[in-house]
Amino acid sequence: MFTRCPGCSTVHPVNAALLARHGGKYRCSKCDKVSNALDALFDDWPQAGQAGAQPGTMPVLGFELDLEQARQARHDPDPGQAADSAAVSPRHPSLLSRVLLRTAWLAGGVLVGAIIIFNVAEFAGQPVLEKHEVESALVRLGLKKPAPAAEFRDLDRIHLVSRELTNDPARPGVLRLRATLVNRAAQAQPYPAIEVILNDSEGARVSTRRFEAGEYLAMPPGDTPMFASQAYLPLALELEDPGEQAVGFELKFH
C-alpha cells in the first residue's frame, strides 16, 4: 500500500501499522510536509495523475513494508524497475552473519588440513609431533594430569668404603658380613638392594644372597627412608656358609 505526498508528489510505501500509529499522519522525508496518508492511499504504485482511494472504498491492507524498495523508489520513481530490482536482488545477510560464516569456513578448513597433515605424517613414519610433545601440550591445556616426577636414583654414586666377611664364632655355618656404604650423590636417593656373591678360588660363583632395603634396615615395607646425601650406612649382614670352596666375595647394588 502506498501514499503520495501532496506537496512534492513523492510516493511512500505504508502499511496498516504505520497508518494506525498517528492516525494516518506522516511527515514527508523529502519536503518535510505533514500530511494525512488516508487522503491519498493507493493499493499499487500510483501512476501520474492517478487519484487516491475515494471515500467509501477499502484499500487492501497488510502489504509488507520493504525498506530497500522504498529507498530505491525515492531515487528511481519507475515502479517497474524497482519491482524488477527487488525480484532479482536477493536480500543480503548482515555483516555479522557474513563474518561468522567466513570464520566457520576458515576454522573448518584449518582443522581438516591439520588432520590430513597428521595422518600423512603418521603413515610416513615421521610424526609432526613426538608423543612427549603432545602430552606436554595436553598438560599445559589442563586436559591431562602431569606424570609423577621420576625418582632420583644413581647407584654409581653409592660407594663401599669398608667390608669384612668372617665366620660367626657363636653359630657354625653362618657368615657375618660387615660393610659401610656412603651416598656420594648430591641428593638423597632410595636405599639400594644389596647382592652378596660368594666365589671360589677361580672366581666362579658359589652362592648368592640378595638383601632388600627393608631387610637390612629392619623396617616394614613402605616405611623405608631415603639414603641422604653424603650419609654413611654401617651394615651387619648374615648369610649361610657354603663351605670351604667359598674363598672370596663381592657386593653389587641394585
- For cell 631415603, name the residue: 226
Quote the pLDDT of residue 16. Answer: 77
- Give pLDDT, residue 71: 61
Which fold is adopted by the domain 155-253?
Coagulation Factor XIII; Chain A, domain 1 (2.70.50)
Quote the pLDDT of residue 61: 45
**Burial classification of residue 80, based on how many CB atoms lie within 10 Å of its CB (0-12 exposed, 13-18 middle, 19 or more buried):** exposed
pLDDT in tens, 30-69: 898 888 888 887 888 887 777 766 555 555 444 444 556 6
Mean pLDDT of 83-105: 68
The confidence band for 176, taking pLDDT boundaries of 50, 70 and 90, is very high
**Cβ atoms 179, 235 nearer than 8 A:** yes
What pLDDT is recorded for position 77? 55
Reported as a pLDDT band with limits 50, 70 and 90, residue 215 is: confident
d(CA 187, CA 164): 28
Amino acid at 157: R
**Comparing 243 with 81, which gets the higher pLDDT?**
243
Q: Write a three-state SS string for 197-243.
A: EEECCCCCEEEEEEECHHHHCCCCCCCCCEECCCCEEEEEEEEECCC
CA distance 248 to 250: 7
> Residue 217: is it exposed, middle or buried by C-beta count within 10 angstroms (0-12/13-18/19+)?
middle
Give the E-state strand segments of 14-146 in sequence order. 25-27, 34-36, 41-42
For residues 222-244, average pLDDT: 88
Mean pLDDT of 130-137: 70
